[in-house]
Amino acid sequence: MTTPILEIRNLRVDYPLYGSCLHAVRDVSLSLEKNEILGIIGESGSGKSTLGAAILNLLPTPGRIVSGEILVEGTDILKLSASRLNEFRGSKVTYVPQGAQNALNPVFTIETQIADPIRFHKKISWKEARERARDALALVSIPRERSNQYPHQFSGGMKQRALIAVALALGSKIVILDEPTTALDVLVQKQIFELVEKIRSDFGTSFILISHDLGVVSSVCDRIAIMYAGKLVEIAPTRKIFESPQHPYTRALIGSIPRLRFSREALIPIRGTPPNLAEVPPGCPFHPRCKYAIELCSQLVPELREIAGDTFASCHRIGELDD
């Protein structure tokens, strides 16, 4: 069995608040295989973006990693010095934050913003770094002659591709894309995912796609991890997630996806709202919204356990749920 390129073990992330503490990620264990595209899905406030940022210790203040391990090719990045961690950021793992517009500096050209991290990591001249930046942009279908333009001259899809070009230029082995298709129309979404698949195929890059929309990322992901209230509730191959979802929350997410073939079929909304992560209910955090909940669900937190060789879920009633 091959060693995963990324392993997260029992990770906890907190945001201390006045008089309380927000538990954003709670004992999450997850792996990413080489050349894999993994989706992390959940509603707003589920902790998925915090998990993505924590992988490179890029949490905004006052967020802090309380415990756990994050191993990239066997190296625990939480034990690295600040300078060594900066080397990992970009050269090994690239994190593309939510909102390409916010991630790009409006006063510098696209070429400059790609060349700058290349110079930092590769220790080369500006001239060579700029040339590599143009090459990287060409790989994501942005003409070389547009490299000297500014972010406001790029469309939303082009900005997203430019950020992915940074990872290509640095030779990153893992790329984390946080809500990569937010505010993009469906055609541009398709282009972004086709690009992700091409990069995976051509360079063997592993991807983590973070999204609130299970339907959007399902076409490109090999596996999907479902998060709720800071915890993983199900992990399985994409096909199994849709064919035989094990957790009630996964079933609810699938039920809320519009299907074009059944345009007259009413969507099934998920009742209630996600819990406040500073006051997570006892037991299973989903039980106040779950139609399958029994008394045990409000008393005992279910463990994430193996259902099959490639499927894991955390529910007291696995195998008992009806349709």
Q: Domain locations in the chain? A: 6-313
Looking at residue 11, its pLDDT comes to: 97
User: Measured over all CA atoms, what is the biggest interatomic distance in the chain, rounded to whole angstroms?
Assistant: 66
CA atoms of 200 and 111, how far apart (whole Å): 23
Could you tell me what percentage of the chain is helix, strand and coil, using 3-state DSSP and rounding each to the nearest 5?
A: 35, 25, 40
Q: Give the DSSP H or E segment for 64.
A: strand 64-72
Give the up-direction half-sphere exposure of residue 20: CA atoms within 13 A in the CB hemisphere.
Answer: 8
* Consecutive 10-residue averages of pLDDT for the chain (323 residues): 90 91 95 96 93 93 95 93 88 85 88 93 91 94 94 91 90 92 83 92 94 88 96 96 94 80 65 89 94 94 91 92 68
CA atoms of 87 and 78, how far apart (whole Å): 13
| Residue 166 and residue 117 in contact, taking contact as beta carbons nearer than 8 Å | yes
Q: Which two tokens stand for residue 24?
A: 């954003």
How far CA 142 is from CA of 90, 190, 217, in Å, comes to 21, 16, 23
Burial track 126-137 (b if 16+ CB lie within 10 A, e otherwise): eeebbbbbbebb
pTM of the model as a whole: 0.93
Looking at residue 19, its pLDDT comes to: 82
Q: To which residue do tokens 């519009």 refer? A: 258
Looking at residue 266, its pLDDT comes to: 64
62 upstream amide cis, omega within 30 of 0: yes
At residue 43, what are phi and psi to the nearest 5 degrees? -65, 170
| Beta-bridge partners for 227 | 232
The residues, ordered by sequence, that sit 6+ positions from 301 with a Cβ below 8 Å of its Cβ are 282, 283, 284, 285, 314
CA atoms of 148 and 130, how far apart (whole Å): 10
One-letter identity of residue 317? R
Q: Which two tokens stand for residue 288?
A: 């106040």
- Is 6-313 a CATH 3.40.50.300 domain? yes
Looking at residue 267, its pLDDT comes to: 67
CA atoms of 231 and 209, how far apart (whole Å): 17
The residues, ordered by sequence, that sit 6+ positions from 174 with a Cβ below 8 Å of its Cβ are 5, 6, 32, 72, 92, 93, 94, 205, 206, 207, 208
CA atoms of 162 and 241, how far apart (whole Å): 32
Looking at residue 188, its pLDDT comes to: 86
